[in-house]
Structure 1
Amino acid sequence: MQEIIWNRTDLIDETEEVVQHQTKQQKEKLDETEGVKFEEFYENRVKVTKVTVNQEGAKEIGKKEGQYFTLTVPTLNIDDHDGMKQLEKAFVKYIDEIHQNIKLTKKSKILVIGLGNKTITPDAIGPFTIDAMQSRQLEEHNEQFILYAPGVTGQTGFETSDFVLALSEKIQPDLVIAIDALATRGTARLCKTIQITNTGIHPGSGVGNQRAEISKEVLGIPVTAIGVPTVVDATVIIADAVDKVFRSIATKIQEKDKPSGKLSVTSWTSDSNSDLDLNVVRPIFGEWSTWSKAERRQLFEEVLLSGSQRLIVTPKEVDIWMTKYSVLISNGLFNWVEDRLN
C-alpha cells in the first residue's frame, strides 16, 4: 500500500501512540530516548496524560518542545453534570500547573484569543468562549482579561497570527491564551477531552488547513493553547467500528466455552485496550482481520480517498457540547486567575 501520513490530530498522546505502534524499531527507539516524558493516571473520573517534550523528543514525535496536559473523561455524555464538574476542576488545576513559571499580578494583562469560525458550530469553541467570558467580565468588572475573536482567514483575508501579533504589540500582555477546536484520531475522544499546552498553536492544522502559528516564537510572549477535539476523519470512524466488531466477535468466540460467557445477562462489548488473539476471526474475515488498527486505517484511507471528497465528522449534539465547554473554560479561567491572585 502507498504510505499515507496520518496527521489529522492535534492531540499529543495520539501522536505518541502512532509513533509507538508504527514499527517495533521505532517503539524501542522512543522508549530509549529521554526526549519524551510520558505520564498517565486517573484523578477520579478524569484521565490525565502529562507529556513533556524536549528538543530531542520534538524530532521523535513531530510535536513542539514544551508541556502538554490532556484531560479526558472517557465515560462523559451530554447530560453528565458530575463529569463536567470533575473535568472543570482538573482544568483549573492543570492550567495553574502549566503557568507555574509565569508571574501574574493584579496589574497583569492576559489576552484571550477565541480562534475559529462562529458560523460553523464544530469550529466555534473559541468565539463561544469569548462570548461566555465577556458576559462574566461585565458582571464582575474584571480587567485582567482582554478578549478577542479574530474570525478566520477565509472571512478576513488576513492571517489570524498577524492580527494577534498586532494586538499583542499594542497592549503588551503578560500572557496569551488561544482557544480552538481540535481534530482527533479516535472517536472516543470527541467532545470528551481538553488539551492544554504552552507550545502555542497552528490554527487549522488538524484538518489539513494549517495557518501561521501563534506562539512565543512569533509573539515574544508566553502562549498557552487550550483545545477541545470536536471533529474526526470519517475513515477513523470506519476503522474504529471495524476494530470493535472484530474484537467483539473474537471475545465471544474465546468466551464461548467459559462459565463467564454463560453468565452475561446484558449486551456486552469488548474492552478495546485488552489483549485479544484476533487470529480466531481470521477464518471468518480473512487475513486483514489480523492487521493492526493502523494498517486497517491505512487501507480505508487509500480506498476512500480515491475520489475527490474527504469527510470530517462531528457529533450531532455538537452545539450543546460547544455551549458546555465554552462555559467550562470561561469559568475555569476566571476561577484560576482569582485563586492565583488571592
Structure 2
Amino acid sequence: MERDSDLFLEYGTGSEGSGETASPLRFPGPVLTSLEGFDVSSAECGAGGYHSLMSGSLWLGPPEERRRFVRALGSLLTLYRRRMAIPRQGPFLVCGVGNERASADSLGPRTAGKVFATDPALRDSGIPAVCAVRTGIPRETGIDTADLVSALAEKTKTALIVTVDSLCAKSGDRLGTVAQITDCGLIPGSALSHSSGEISRNTMPCPVLSVGVPTVVRASALHGTPDGSALPEGRREDAETGAGRPLFVTRADTDAMVSCYAVLIAQAINTAFTGNPPGDVMDLGNRA
C-alpha cells in the first residue's frame, strides 16, 4: 500500500487533496509518556501498536544521550517481546532490510552487521539463539524480501522476527530524530513506490517486531504538501522525475546519522534479546 510516510506518528496529518491512501490501521489518539528522558508517543489498536521514541539528533549529541537511547529502546523491545509472549530463549531472527550501497537505505544492513549473532556453541551455554541476516533488495537478489524472510524464519524455527529498516517521513524535521517500534509489521519500500511483500504476523510463520528510523522525505513535501499542490503552477514537476515518480531527499550528514543509529539499535537488540550489556557507546563527536 503506497503512502507518504512510514511513521504511524504522521498518519492522519496529510493535507486534504494529498491523494494519500490511508492505512487500514486506525489508532486512537497517542499517549504521551517519557522514557530515559526521551518523549515517547504510543498508541494501540486491535491489530497491534507502536511506540515513537523522540530521540533527537543523537549523532550530534554527547555519548550519554546515546547510552540513554540504548536503554530506552532496549526496554521497549523487551516490553514487546513479553507482550507477545515470546520465549526468552527465542530463537530470534534479526533482518536488516534495505540497500547497503545507498546510505539513506542502509540502516537495516548496517545494524544486522553489528548484532550479536549466536552460534550453536553459545546457545548450548544458555545464550538465546539469535540469527542476523542482511536481506538485500529484490533487484539484486532476485527474491522478494518478504519471501526470503519467511523462508529463513521457517528454516530456523524462529519465534520472533525483528526487522530493521530505513523509513520515509512526511516532514523533514523527522529525519533521524525519531525511532519507531511496532508489532504491526512493515512493507519494505511502501512509501517509496517500489514496495515488496508485507512482513507481518499475517504473512510470516511467527510474530514480527519492526524498528526503523526515517532517513528520507519526499521532495514535494518540503514545499508544503506531500503531492506538491502548494507549488506554483508549472513547478510541481520539479519535485518529480520525468517518469512522474516522486523524488526523495535526505540530510547532508546521512552517513553519520545512519552509522550512529546502526550501532545504537544493534546494541539495544543485543541488550533485549541476548542480555549482552551495551558497554560504551563510541564517541561519534559533534559533526555538522
TM-score calculated relative to the size of structure 1:
0.68
Instruction: Please list, as runs of the form range in 1=range in 2, the aligned pairs for 1:209-228 lying within 5 A after superposition.
Output: 209-228=194-213
Match of 1:124 among 106, 109, 134: 106
CA positional deviation for 1:317: 1.3
Corresponding residue of 1:308: 242
TM-score calculated relative to the size of structure 2:
0.79
Q: 1:7 to 1:72 in 2, by over 3 A?
A: same
CA positional deviation for 1:75: 5.8
Q: Which deviates further from its counterpart, 196-205 or 143-152?
A: 143-152
Aligned-partner Cα distance in 2 for 1:154–1:313? 21
Residue 95 of structure 2 contacts residue 132 of structure 2 at CA under 8 Å; is this kept in 1?
yes
Corresponding residue of 1:62: none
Deviations 1:86-132 (A, max 9, x none): 32222112112222233444642101111001111110111101111
Q: Name the Cα RMSD after superposition.
A: 2.9
One-letter identity of the residue aligned with 1:40: L
One-letter identity of the residue aligned with 2:9: D
Aligned-partner Cα distance in 1 for 2:232–2:149? 36
Corresponding residue of 2:230: 299
Corresponding residue of 1:257: none
One-letter identity of the residue aligned with 1:15: Y
Q: 1:95 to 1:16 in 2, by over 3 A?
A: farther
Corresponding residue of 2:282: none
1:98 aligned counterpart, secondary structure: helix
Instruction: Please list, as runs of the form range in 1=range in 2, the aligned pairs for 1:225-304 lying within 5 A after superposition.
Output: 225-239=210-224, 294=225, 298-300=229-231, 303-304=235-236
Residue 235 of structure 1 contacts residue 301 of structure 1 at CA under 8 Å; is this kept in 2?
no
Residue 93 of structure 2 contacts residue 162 of structure 2 at CA under 8 Å; is this kept in 1?
yes
Q: 1:16 to 1:143 in 2, by over 3 A?
A: same
2:60 aligned counterpart, secondary structure: coil
Corresponding residue of 1:332: 268
Aligned-partner Cα distance in 2 for 1:49–1:299? 29
Instruction: Please list, as runs of the form range in 1=range in 2, the aligned pairs for 1:55-66 lying within 5 A after superposition.
Output: 65-66=47-48
Aligned-partner Cα distance in 1 for 2:57–2:257? 15
Residue 69 of structure 1 contacts residue 195 of structure 1 at CA under 8 Å; is this kept in 2?
yes
Match of 1:87 among 57, 69, 73: 69
1:229 aligned counterpart, secondary structure: strand
Aligned-partner Cα distance in 2 for 1:6–1:301? 25
Q: 1:96 to 1:232 in 2, by over 3 A?
A: same
Corresponding residue of 1:12: 8
Match of 1:40 among 18, 32, 49: 32
CA positional deviation for 1:325: 0.8
Kindly indicate whether structure 1 or structure 2 has the higher relative contact order, using CA contacts under 8 Å at least 6 residues apart: 2
Deviations 1:294-331 (A, max 9, x none): 59953239842376264211111111111111111111
Residue 56 of structure 2 contacts residue 176 of structure 2 at CA under 8 Å; is this kept in 1?
no
Flag structure 2 segments of 5+ consecutive residues without an equivalent.
Answer: 18-25, 277-288
Aligned-partner Cα distance in 1 for 2:58–2:256? 13
1:49 aligned counterpart, secondary structure: strand
Q: 1:126 to 1:74 in 2, by over 3 A?
A: closer
Residue 221 of structure 2 contacts residue 228 of structure 2 at CA under 8 Å; is this kept in 1?
yes
2:215 aligned counterpart, secondary structure: strand
Aligned-partner Cα distance in 2 for 1:82–1:301? 45
Q: 1:295 to 1:335 in 2, by over 3 A?
A: closer
Q: 1:165 to 1:83 in 2, by over 3 A?
A: same
CA positional deviation for 1:194: 0.7
Deviations 1:65-84 (A, max 9, x none): 31111111346552443332
One-letter identity of the residue aligned with 1:308: G
Instruction: Please list, as runs of the form range in 1=range in 2, the aligned pairs for 1:144-159 lying within 5 A after superposition.
Output: 144-159=129-144
1:36 aligned counterpart, secondary structure: coil
Residue 37 of structure 1 contacts residue 52 of structure 1 at CA under 8 Å; is this kept in 2?
no
Aligned-partner Cα distance in 2 for 1:191–1:93? 20
Residue 118 of structure 2 contacts residue 129 of structure 2 at CA under 8 Å; is this kept in 1?
no
CA positional deviation for 1:231: 0.5
Aligned-partner Cα distance in 2 for 1:107–1:97? 15
Residue 190 of structure 2 contacts residue 196 of structure 2 at CA under 8 Å; is this kept in 1?
yes
Instruction: Please list, as runs of the form range in 1=range in 2, the aligned pairs for 1:85-124 lying within 5 A after superposition.
Output: 85-105=67-87, 107-124=89-106
One-letter identity of the residue aligned with 1:148: V
One-letter identity of the residue aligned with 2:51: F
Corresponding residue of 1:323: 259
